[in-house]
Amino acid sequence: MFKKVLIANRGEIAVRLIRACRELEIPTVAIYSEADRNSLHVRCADEAYCVGPPPSAQSYLVIDKILEVAEKTGTDAIHPGYGFLAENPEFAKLCKDHNITFVGPSAEAIEMMGHKTVARKTMQNVGVPVVPGTETVDDDDVLASRAKEMSFPVMIKAVAGGGGKGMRIVREEKEIKEAIRAARSEAKSSFGDDTVYVEKYLEEPRHIEFQILADRHGNVIHLLERECSIQRRHQKVIEEAPSMALDDDLREKMGKAAVDAAKAARYWSAGTVEFLVDREKNYYFLEMNTRLQVEHPVTEMITGIDIAKEMFKIAAGEKLSISQEDVKMNGWAMECRIYAEDPFNNFLPSPGKILTLREPSGPGVRDDSGVFAGYEVPLHYDPMISKLCTWGGTRTESIQRMKRALGEYVIKGIKTTIPFHQRVMNNEKFLAGNIHTGFIEDECIMETSDDSEDLMNVALVAAALHLQRKSREGVGTAGPEKTGTDAWKMMGRRSRWVT
């Protein structure tokens, strides 16, 4: 096993990984920015080093600085968590060059899955269904005519994309040219690559993903599915496992497809294969996330497998100790992501000092938190402060426990999304399991404010966040995982708010 592990991340996921290391009896090194000097992950780690000023581009994303800390502390492995450098193939390669184990997949697997059409082709070659679509086409006129042949609606996607950027839905022929131009331009500025292709657009799909574990000896298993259809502006907000949409037959088929996908990529480590599932229960490969995901706890709760610990064991060269037959589905788990945002004011970020904190506990409750009473939530990063998860023998019990736990949760000093979750937990369609990726927009869970002063605040924070993001999302570095507020998107997408 490793002598010492550096956690190249912050917040709740850094704390989660330090806990895994403590159980494995591996000493840990934390890194932090000047804004995170007093944060929980710094307190939990055995050692901690400052790597720069608050902006991520000057701290959590500075590879040289992180490797320098690793070398001076005698670290032999680095876990990147999610976001930041987790899906940066260059970082994975540089770790290897420095004789430090990257606790994740190979640089080659990250790179391949980061390119949408290359990933699609790899899946097609092994018989995993993908959404009908084109290859990359450089000429706008040729791409437009391919789209017409496919029939509308279609979706234009950036090959370097992910999480909704560089994507455009096109419903009519007359919109196609402009949409291609817009998608290319957004892709160019976000990813430094304006290559796009076209897919058939699926209406109201479910987003179902399979957790996989693979060792460095070619063994691959899946740990069942998670239902991630409850999203707001491409950020997941509630996840559950298993999914109401799958029966045993479909679960087995999709699980096998996920394992085939990982094998085709010569994948090792923990990873997630995402699918879209349509109303007719057809499933299509969407993308593969080559990292530990935010929502991994719900899978841990229904399988009893500690995914974070497994990642370290796999990285150290151990063979998987579990076979597919050992993976048993037990009960039902839910996750509510708690953000420091004001749900009554367009989910405006609500940084500030936490004055009072009482975290829920009791039967079936797990709260993976990155905060404590007296902590000041900084404005520089993703505002997710904790992940409240509940387990129950049935979906109903899991929801009852979630309602109970949300009611127990006391956070004073900042606004949080707890009231939003309480509404979803009482929504009839949610309770019936009748959900899809447009659920939140369709159900109007929160009334939005029309007060002009509120709107001005939204616009100001949006502008500040936009500048901050622009400065940190350097070309070629994977951006933070999509857990943060996308307030800046309101400027473009909800014209009503900026009129």
Among candidate residues 88, 430, 378, the one with its CA nearest the CA of residue 240: 430
Cβ nearer to ligand MV4, comparing 6 with 131: 131
Cβ nearer to ligand MV4, comparing 78 with 276: 276
Phi, psi of 45 (to 5 degrees): -75, 160
| Residue 238 in contact with ligand MV4, rule: CB under 6 A | no
CA 92 to chain centre: 19
CB of 55 to ligand MV4, least distance (A): 26
Cβ nearer to ligand MV4, comparing 7 with 237: 237
Residue from 41, 79, 207, 469 that binds ligand MV4 (CB under 6 A)?
A: 207
Using CA atoms, how far residue 49 sits from 4, 12, 32, 46, 481, in Å, is 14, 18, 6, 11, 23
| Residue 234 in contact with ligand MV4, rule: CB under 6 A | yes
Among candidate residues 457, 249, 431, 429, the one with its CA nearest the CA of residue 350: 457
Cβ nearer to ligand MV4, comparing 96 with 493: 493
The one-letter amino acid code at 399 reads I
Residues in the chain: 499
Q: List beta partners, residue 334.
A: 240, 390
Among candidate residues 462, 453, 446, the one with its CA nearest the CA of residue 494: 462
CB of 95 to ligand MV4, least distance (A): 27
Q: Are 381 and 484 in contact, with CB atoms under 8 Å apart?
A: yes
| Residue 129 in contact with ligand MV4, rule: CB under 6 A | no
Options 202-210, 356-364, 423-431, 461-469: segment touching ligand MV4 (CB under 6 A): 202-210
Residue 202 DSSP class = P
CB of 277 to ligand MV4, least distance (A): 10
Cβ nearer to ligand MV4, comparing 202 with 461: 202
| Residue 351 in contact with ligand MV4, rule: CB under 6 A | no
- Which residue in the block uniquely carries the two structure tokens 């004073």? 412
Cβ nearer to ligand MV4, comparing 57 with 182: 182
Residue from 55, 114, 162, 364 that binds ligand MV4 (CB under 6 A)?
A: 162
Instruction: Decide if 168 is catalytic.
Output: no
Residue from 36, 87, 186, 199 that binds ligand MV4 (CB under 6 A)?
A: 199
Residue count, binding to ligand MV4 (CB under 6 A):
17
Q: List beta partners, residue 168.
A: 156
Which of the following is catalytic: 10, 184, 233, 291?
A: 291
Q: List beta partners, residue 277.
A: 206, 283
| Residue 134 in contact with ligand MV4, rule: CB under 6 A | no
Among candidate residues 92, 33, 7, 10, the one with its CA nearest the CA of residue 384: 10
| Residue 201 in contact with ligand MV4, rule: CB under 6 A | yes
Cβ nearer to ligand MV4, comparing 129 with 164: 164
The CA distance from 122 to 264, in Å, is 7
**Interactions with ligand MV4, residue window 432-491 (CB under 6 A):** 437
| Residue 205 in contact with ligand MV4, rule: CB under 6 A | yes
Give the number of other CB atoms < 10 A from CB of residue 71: 13
Half-sphere exposure (Cβ direction) of 151: Cα atoms closer than 13 Å: 2
Rg (the chain; Cα; Å): 22
Three-class secondary structure of residue 33 per DSSP: strand
| Residue 177 in contact with ligand MV4, rule: CB under 6 A | no
CA dihedral (328, 19, 484, 407) positive or negative: positive
The CA distance from 309 to 17, in Å, is 8
| Residue 235 in contact with ligand MV4, rule: CB under 6 A | no
Three-class secondary structure of residue 304 per DSSP: coil
CB of 313 to ligand MV4, least distance (A): 30
Cβ nearer to ligand MV4, comparing 244 with 322: 244
Options 38-46, 196-204, 245-253, 300-308: segment touching ligand MV4 (CB under 6 A): 196-204
Options 84-92, 102-110, 155-163, 464-472: segment touching ligand MV4 (CB under 6 A): 155-163
**Interactions with ligand MV4, residue window 253-312 (CB under 6 A):** 276, 286-287
As annotated, the active-site residues are 291
Query: Which parts of this chain interact with ligand MV4 (CB under 6 A)?
Result: 131, 155, 162-164, 199-202, 205, 207, 231, 234, 276, 286-287, 437
